[in-house]
Structures are given as structure tokens and as C-alpha cells.
Structure 1
Amino acid sequence: MWLASVLFLASAIWRGRGARVDSREDAHSDHKEAVTYREAPELLKYRTFNETGMRLLISGADLPLVASSSLVEEDSKAKLLEKLPKEWRSKLEIVKQLGRGAFGKVFLCKVLCESDSDVYVSVKLIQTEVPFSPMKLWIKREVQLLETMQDYSDFCISTIGSPSSVDNKDGTWIMMPFMNGGELRDLVRRCRNTEGCRNFNNRLDWTKVNPQWNTAYILVLFHDIVAGVEALHEQSGMLHADLKLENVMLNCRGDKCYAAVIDLGIACNPQLWMLRKLPLPMPGVCGRSGTPRYLPPEVYKGSAWAMSSPARDVWALGIILYFLMYGGVPPFFHGNPAEVILEYDVRADPNIPGTKEVDELVREMLTSDYTKRPSLAEIRMKLEDLIELEDSPEAMTMLRQSPAERGAAVATPECLQTPDGGN
């Protein structure tokens, strides 16, 4: 049991803009505090569960699905006691603390070695009191995965810089991109709170939020997300296993934005599926862990082979696309997810309004039979066809551009790539 608890606590650490911070409570704790939520289900911050928590949930335990903690931001630089590692002091300066969680803090840092413009990065500090604890090993695993993704895709979170991480007496420091646009959940909230964004046939009209954000533009952002997940699969061989609105962040410069997948804390290796037969959950094995509202039916059924399929991530991506296209929420966002997800029939979903090509794509991604879901490459190609049908030359151009070429980001300064001992 102790190992399961450690794996849960270490699985997500926290997050902050690009490196977001959450304090994730143990999903099988005795915490039963009643909370009244006024926001729509898709706008809540959902908790990630470990294997033990999922077993309790499936058995009928009344566990809170929504995180009770939130980002804590401190503006006063004077309150900051931490000093950056000496390797970074000539390159970076802490501007403020973006947030803190149970295991560490995230800072906004200005790049000092870039004189042409104001460029910022985020720096995570993971604090562990026991230097050789299992949690420390889990952190090392996540850092290695982030480093594996470095320079591979702008649409999947990674470390940046050289060195990209530093261990010292304070903990583990990680340099990552700063994403200034917040979570995708925040963007969905803007639509929900904007008059006319939800039209008469339950589709979302994003131009009510911003005249530049037509359907093609939103589909490009979703294409970014799919590309990020595909890059993770290709480069690392890992599944994300915890895709949700909160785990996608945006970076914008004016009306130009791009999206990136974040939080690789419970990413799993599908090649290790045979280890599901062991009595204790093992790091990196695809199992019954994740965010209950976003988990596909095969996870609840417990098939080791099915849980290790890339189709697991496709299901969660289908939910994200659902929230970007429609004004309603999937029926399984109400009730016990262990029951309603197994009963869900996408063909009978009243919130999917018609037979447009995008509706068919959502239905394909949310089919209960994981073997019939499209691959990420197929989804990406279908999205490109959908964007072309929208007759938006600007959106088609965005598809072929990096975030910097798109005008949505500033390229990482080359000076960060040069090792420097600092002072």
C-alpha cells in the first residue's frame, strides 16, 4: 500500500504555466468534505487517481472527483527566499512565484542573456525531504521523459536549456517554457461566459469570444494538441494517460495562439503491459490510473492489453474536442464514472447535434470499442481536411507553421542552450 501511495503522490507533482502547480490530494484519502460547485462540469478541476483510488471508486466508494486546491500566486519578489542554481544565475532572474503545491513551487523567470526582447521561462522546484525516497526516483523518471521530449515538438511540454535540470540541496530544478495563455479549460470558460458563444443548435461559435477565432482556428489548436500527443508517442514510446482540459495550455501573442500538452507525470509505457500481472502497481505500467471522467471504458473493464493501447489517449482527446465544439457536456460527466462511462453510447448522445464531418470524428473517437477508434495520424489528417473545408487560408497556413512562425511564441533564446557555471 505504501508504494501505491507514493506512486500517486509523485505521479503528477504539480503544474505551473507550462509548469503549472497543483496540490493533488491522495484520491483514496478519508477526505469527504462536501463542496458545492457552481461551475459547469467541464470547467471544474478534476483530480488524478492512482490505482488504489480507482479500485475504491469502481467498488462504489464516494470519493471526491474535483480538486479542492488551486493555484496560489505570490507577486512579491521580496518574499522569495530561493536562489536559482548557480548554473542558471547568469542567464535567469526570478520575477515572481507563479504557484506552489504540496511538492514544490513554480517561478516565472526572465531570461537575462536575451537582450532583444522580454523573454520568460518557468522554473519548477521540486522539494523532497528524503534524498533517496521512491518519490525521488519517480521525479527522476519524469525529468528524463521531459528531457527526451526536448527540441522534438513545440506542442508537447519538455525541458529547455542546458542544463535543463539541476539537483541541489533545495531539490530538483527544471527549466520549462512559460505558457502565458493559461489552461484550455480557461478558454472554454471564456466561451461559456460569452453571450452567443453557444448557438441554437448546441454548437459553439468562438467568433463571439474573438472575431478571429473561427471554427478553423479552434480546430488548428486541437490539431496542435493531437500533434503533441503524437510526438510523445513517437519520441518516447509512452502514452500520456491523463489528457484533459487542465493538461493543455496555451501561449498567445495578441490573437495568435498555440496549444501544448503538459503534465507527463503518469505517462506509461505500453510495452510493459505484461507487468500488470504483478500484485503491486509498477512505475510506467499502463493501468487503472488517471482522471476518472476522462478514462475510457477499457480502463474500467481492466484489460491489461486494452489499457496499454494508444486508443486510450484518443478517447480523452475526443472529450476535449467535444468541449471545443459543443455547448453541452458528455452524459458521463454526471454520476459515478465507473458506471456511466461503461453505459455510454456515443451514437445516442443528444449533445452531438448532427452529421457534419466533425461530428463523425467525435463519434469515432468516443466509440466504446477501442479497436475501432482512429489512430492519431488518422485524426490529424481528418482535422486537416476539416480545416480545409472551412475555407480559411490563414488557418491552413497556421497548420504548416511552428508557434514562432505563427507569431504565437518567441523562439527559445540560443543563449540558454550554452552550459554556464554561473556564480
Structure 2
Amino acid sequence: MSGTLMRDYEIGEEIGRGRFGVVRRCRSAATGVEFALKSIEKCLLADAVDRECAEREAKVHHLAASGNPHVVQIHAAYEDEAWVHLVVELLEGPDLCERIAARAGTPFAEPEAAALVASLAEAVAACHRGGVAHRDVKPDNVLFDARGRLKLADFGSAECFVGDSGDRVPMNGIVGTPWYVAPEVVVGRAYGEKVDVWSLGVVMYMLLAGGLPPFYGETVAETFEAVSRANLRFPPRLFRSVSPAAKDLLRRMLCKDVSRRFSADQVLRHPWITSGAMSPAEGATRDASLSVERHDDTLLAFRAKVPSEPDAAWRCFESPHATWTPVICLPLGKACALPWALDCCGSQLKNAGV
């Protein structure tokens, strides 16, 4: 570990682990303030895309954060022959994925969902104003501070879409998480920052549908097929009480035609957002008594007692007599039942060969 890093920070216990490294608690030797230390092990970055993302993460994170209260702040970066180390804001509460799971299939009320979407849209808009696309907006990367304020985290997949000369630079590559990637990513076209708005739309849909994603399948390939079709549906059992304004915003975010899809700033100006909502802090207080054991790369997917074809599953779910088997599939073979169910499409992928 870098000698300069060891001089500047007291390194504490491990608080998380991922595919490419570890997250530890650390304390500034100068101020005593605690941070999270994200350490990425270079030898695990066999893929060229992963290496590029790791090398530029500190830069794009700094550009995206720029003091915005809804983006996790980066405070320092260190690099040695074996590791890249990022010192970032420490957030210890449950993430949005855990809050969704703790509700066991109960949808968020629209005022609370609107507040969450507004805060996340502000974070995405801040990234875009800095010329950065996050490219992996999902509940797992939405954290909360001690006051319940929403924070967008993990810029390991982010990329600049504005060049040194100020010109727009198209992005390429299948980067992100299957449920949340936009159609233009799936089909292999060059794309822009509106991929984040699509992902934001998926998150909003899940908040209002008790965790059900709008596009999914039994496999990653089937999920990508559903995403590429972009056949947005509102099952009556889940959306009967959802307002027309909420559905209108979902249609504008989950629009396959990128030229017609909303920008993050347009999302913030939509009536469903501007009409007033519960603060995220109120929602965090409401969820505080619910705990969910944390597992990295938890795999979530819906599985029904119906034919596995996605369209057949949707038709069954839209029926008032549908029967669903809830399960969360965890990487170590653990499972727990919930009134909603999941299977294989919550894990992250980069340049997937499907």
C-alpha cells in the first residue's frame, strides 16, 4: 500500500468487497475525519475496458461530483504499482436496493418515490453537466447519508462524453447491469449520456412496482432481448393506483427513441417531480427499522410458476390469478423468500459476450 497513503490516513477494518478490490474504513491523520477507502487491485483488471475504467475513475468521479450534495464526494486518489486507491465520502446506511428489498414487495408511495427520483435525477444531471455519464445507475449504487440524503456512488463504469476540445465524444461498449442498460447499449450502437436517464426510469419503475423491473428475462440474453424491444407495460395489479403523471414520466424516460427520450434536466422539470414530494430523509426514517443482510453482487430476478418466456410471464402477472414464487438468489447459495421474486439479471457486466 502506498507509503504516502499510509502517512495521510489510518487504515481501518474492511467494510466491503467487490470483483476488483476492497473497501475499508480510514481516518485522516490531519483532521480525524473518517472516509471510505476504495482499493482496486490492478492484477484483477484483465479486461481492457476494466483497466481503462479504473485508470480514469478518480478523474471522472471528481468531474461528476463537483460539490453536488447528491453525488458521493471524492477526497483523494493514490496509485502504486499494484493498486489504485480512492478516498471517498463514508456512507454506512442501507442502499436503495436494500430499502426496496426490506419492503418485501410493497411499492413506494408516489410522494416518496418522487423525492427519490428527483434527488437521483439531480445527481445524474450534475454528472452530465460535468461531461460524465455514470453508465451504471441502479439501486445498489444509490446510498444515503446520516441525514437520509440520497447519494449516487461508484463511478467505476463512468466515462467522459465531452472531449478536451469541448466536442461531444460518443461512447461504446456494453457497460452496466442488464436490467438497467438502455436499448442502444444492448444493440451495440454508439450512445450518449441519456443511457443514464433510461436507467433512472428503470429505478423509478421498480420503486412504484415493488421491485419488479420493466424489462427482464430468465437469462441475460433474454433480458437484453426484452430491453431491445422496449415494450413498456403497466400491469394493472401493480399500476392501477399509480397516477397518469407518473406513467407519463416513465414513458418519457423509457423511450427507445433517444431523440425523444428526456434529458435529466427535463426529468427535473416534469410535473410529477415538481408537484411536491416527501423528502428522502423521511423515507429513510420510515425504513430505518427494516434490516437486510448485505451481499455483494446480489442477483435479483423474477421467477413465476408460468412458462419461462418473458411475454408469457408478463401475461400471467397481468392476470389477477397469477401465482409467483419469490426468491432472492445469492452468490453463496443462500436464499430467502419475499413476496416478489428474482433470478440472474442484477449482476454487473462489461462487454458481455451475449
The one-letter code of the counterpart of 2:227 is: I
Answer yes or no: is the 8 Å Cα contact 1:297–1:368 preserved in 2.
yes
Please name the residue that 1:121 is paired with: 35
2:174 aligned with 1:288, yes or no? yes
Q: Which amino acid in structure 1 is aligned with residue 156 of structure 2?
A: G
Counterpart residue type for residue 69 of structure 2: D
Hey, what does 1:187 align to over in structure 2? 99
* Paired letter, 1:371: S
* Residue from 192, 198, 201 that aligns with 1:315: 198
Does the CA-based 8 Å contact 1:267-1:284 persist in structure 2?
no
Return the alpha-carbon distance in structure 2 between the equivalents of residues 243 and 130 of structure 1.
Answer: 23
Change (3 A) 1:379 1:165: same
Is 1:379 the counterpart of 2:267? The answer is: yes
Q: Give, in angstroms, the shift of residue 376 of structure 1.
A: 0.9
Q: Is the Cα–Cα contact under 8 Å of residues 72 and 153 in structure 2 kept in the other structure?
A: yes
Matches within 5 A, 1:15-414: 85-89=2-6, 92-114=9-31, 119-129=33-43, 138-160=53-75, 164-168=76-80, 171-192=83-104, 198=106, 203-205=107-109, 215-235=110-130, 237-252=131-146, 256-270=147-161, 285-304=171-190, 307-308=191-192, 310-327=193-210, 329-335=212-218, 336-346=222-232, 349-350=235-236, 351-353=238-240, 354-382=242-270, 385-388=273-276, 390=277, 395=279
Residue 231 of structure 1: how far off its partner (Å)? 0.9
| RMSD across aligned positions (CA) | 3.4
The residue identity in structure 1 corresponding to 2:74 is T
Structure 1 position 137, deviation (Å): 5.3
Amino acid at match of 1:146: H
How many Å separate the matches in 2 of 1:284 and 1:127? 28
Partner of 2:297: none
Supply the distance in 2 between the matched residues of 1:341 and 1:220 (Cα, whole angstroms).
Answer: 26
Deviations 1:368-407 (A, max 9, x none): 322222221111122675442x5x6xx4999xxxxxxxxx
- Number of positions where the alignment pairs a residue of Structure 1 with one of Structure 2: 271
SS at match of 1:332: coil
Counterpart-to-counterpart distance in 2, 1:386 and 1:130: 45
> How far does residue 191 in structure 1 lie from its aligned partner after superposition?
1.3
Distance 1:375 1:170, change over 3 A: closer
**Secondary structure of 2:70's match?**
coil
The one-letter code sitting in structure 2 at the alignment partner of 1:376 is A
TM-score, length of structure 2 as denominator length: 0.65
Return the alpha-carbon distance in structure 2 between the equivalents of residues 367 and 294 of structure 1.
13
Aligned equivalents of 1:348, 1:105: Cα separation in 2: 39
Q: Is the 1:270–1:286 contact (alpha carbons within 8 Å) kept by the matching residues of 2?
A: no
Contact 1:241–1:266 (8 Å) recurs in 2: yes
* Cα contact 1:220–1:387 (8 A) shared by 2: no
TM-superposed CA distance for 1:257, in Å, is 0.5
| Cα pair distance change 1:377/1:332, threshold 3 Å | same
C-alpha offsets along residues 67-88 of structure 1, whole Å, 9 cap, x if unaligned? xxxxxxxxxxxxxxxx6x4445
Change (3 A) 1:396 1:86: closer
Share of identical aligned residues, percent?
A: 23
Q: 1:178 to 1:341 in 2, by over 3 A?
A: same
Q: Distance in 2 between matches of 1:269 and 1:170?
A: 25
Kept after mapping to 1: 8 A contact 2:9/2:28: yes
The TM-score, its normalising length taken from structure 1, stands at: 0.56
Instruction: Give the 3-state SS of the residue equivalent to 1:333 in structure 2.
Output: coil
**Higher strand residue share:** 2
Radius of gyration: which is bigger? 1
Structure 1 SS opposite 2:69? coil
* Distance in 2 (alpha carbons) for counterparts of 1:138 and 1:340: 27
Q: Distance in 2 between matches of 1:360 and 1:130?
A: 43
